[in-house]
């Protein structure tokens, strides 16, 4: 009986020591998982809300600089201002050069290899549907017949959309919407009309899909004549 008591007494401290040795590992693992989870949540919050706050502030600054430059008869960093009737009277976003991520974080991007606003050819622009100011958040609500206004330093151009925002979905590798004549059957053709192409860009999580709308130039106002 005495021997059995001694064995049990000797084993108890060893078990407690083993538990103490395991505790730091468990604690570190738990903290790592918790911090990892918080990091993911923080990244998601930044993408969904933080980038919108920063981008909208930059949109406002670009628009202000553009207004000042135009007031002095100078071209600005942005090539124009986009207004979309369906998205409200207060919708106003700068159009900046380029389709790269850093460009689309500053406003609506303009495809520089295409036409300028109002020119014969394909004036193509793209914008985020979520994050980075989400200028094309309500893209799928666009309808055929909607009016899209593009103001430059010298002119105001109005385009009328010919299709709905949710009517055409293409893989991002499909390139014909950026052709001079945005038509899959007219590759290589020379443009004879002034056209507008609007595309959504990448969303927060990777998607291969892009929604596209097209429009025709229906009105041009020369601001210089209007103020003469």
162: in domain: yes
pLDDT at site 130: 81
Residue pair 163/144 in contact (Cβ under 8 Å)? The answer is yes
5: in domain: no
Q: Any idea how long the chain is?
A: 228
Distances (CA, A) of 151 to 11, 37, 39, 133: 84, 45, 42, 20
217: in domain: yes
Residue pair 137/130 in contact (Cβ under 8 Å)? The answer is yes
- Please state the domain count of the chain: 1
DSSP string, 151-204: E-SSEEEEEEE-S-TTS-EEETT--GGGSSS--TT-TTPPP-SEEEEEEE---S
Long-range contacts of 132-137 (CB under 8 A, 24+ apart): 132/51, 132/52, 132/55, 132/104, 132/105, 133/51, 133/52, 133/55, 133/56, 133/58, 133/59, 133/93, 133/105, 133/107, 134/52, 135/59, 135/82, 135/93, 135/107, 135/108, 136/108, 136/198, 136/200, 136/201
Residue pair 196/216 in contact (Cβ under 8 Å)? The answer is yes
Distances (CA, A) of 72 to 35, 61, 88, 141: 52, 17, 29, 37
Domain holding 164: CATH number? 2.40.260.10
Of 8, 201, 208, give the one whose Cα is nearest residue 103.
Answer: 201
Residue in the structure block whose two tokens are 């600054």: 61
Q: Decide if pLDDT at 157 tops 60.
A: yes
Residue in the structure block whose two tokens are 């609506």: 108
* DSSP state at residue 78: S
Give the domain range for residue 121. Answer: 52-226
2: in domain: no
10: in domain: no
94-138 tens-digit pLDDT: 999 999 988 988 999 999 999 999 999 999 999 988 876 789 999
Ranking 21-35, 50-64, 135-149 by mean pLDDT, the lowest is: 21-35
What would the two tokens of residue 79 be?
A: 């090539």
CA angle, residues 120, 123, 129, in degrees to nearest 5: 165
Residue pair 108/127 in contact (Cβ under 8 Å)? The answer is yes
212: in domain: yes
Q: Decide if pLDDT at 16 tops 70.
A: no
Q: Decide if pLDDT at 70 tops 60.
A: yes
Distance, in Å, from the CA atom of 158 to the CA atom of 222, rounded to the nearest integer, reads 12
Q: What is the mean pLDDT of residues 66-76?
A: 94
4: in domain: no
pLDDT band at 27 (very low <50, low <70, confident <90, very high): low
24: in domain: no
pLDDT band at 149 (very low <50, low <70, confident <90, very high): very high
pTM of the model: 0.77
């Amino acid at each position: 009986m005495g021997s059995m008591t001694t064995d049990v007494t000797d084993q108890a401290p060893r078990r407690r020591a083993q538990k103490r040795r395991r505790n730091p590992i468990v604690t570190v693992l738990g903290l790592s998982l918790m911090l990892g989870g918080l990091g993911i949540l923080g990244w998601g919050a930044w993408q969904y809300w933080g980038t919108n706050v920063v981008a909208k502030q930059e949109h406002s600054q670009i628009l202000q600089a553009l207004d000042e430059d135009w007031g002095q008869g100078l071209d600005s960093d942005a090539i124009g201002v986009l207004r979309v009737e369906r998205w409200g009277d207060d919708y106003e976003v700068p159009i900046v050069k380029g389709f790269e991520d850093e460009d689309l974080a500053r406003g609506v991007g303009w495809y520089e290899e295409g036409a300028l606003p109002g020119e014969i050819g394909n004036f193509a622009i793209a914008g985020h549907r979520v994050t980075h100011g989400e200028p094309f958040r309500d893209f799928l609500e666009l309808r055929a017949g909607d009016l899209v206004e593009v103001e430059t330093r010298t002119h105001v151009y109005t385009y009328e959309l010919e299709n709905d925002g949710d009517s055409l979905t293409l893989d991002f590798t499909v390139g014909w919407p950026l052709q001079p004549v945005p038509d899959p059957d007219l590759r290589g053709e020379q443009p004879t009309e002034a056209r507008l192409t609007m595309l959504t860009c990448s969303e927060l999580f990777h998607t291969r899909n892009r929604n596209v709308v097209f429009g025709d130039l229906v009105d041009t106002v020369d601001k210089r004549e209007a103020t003469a």
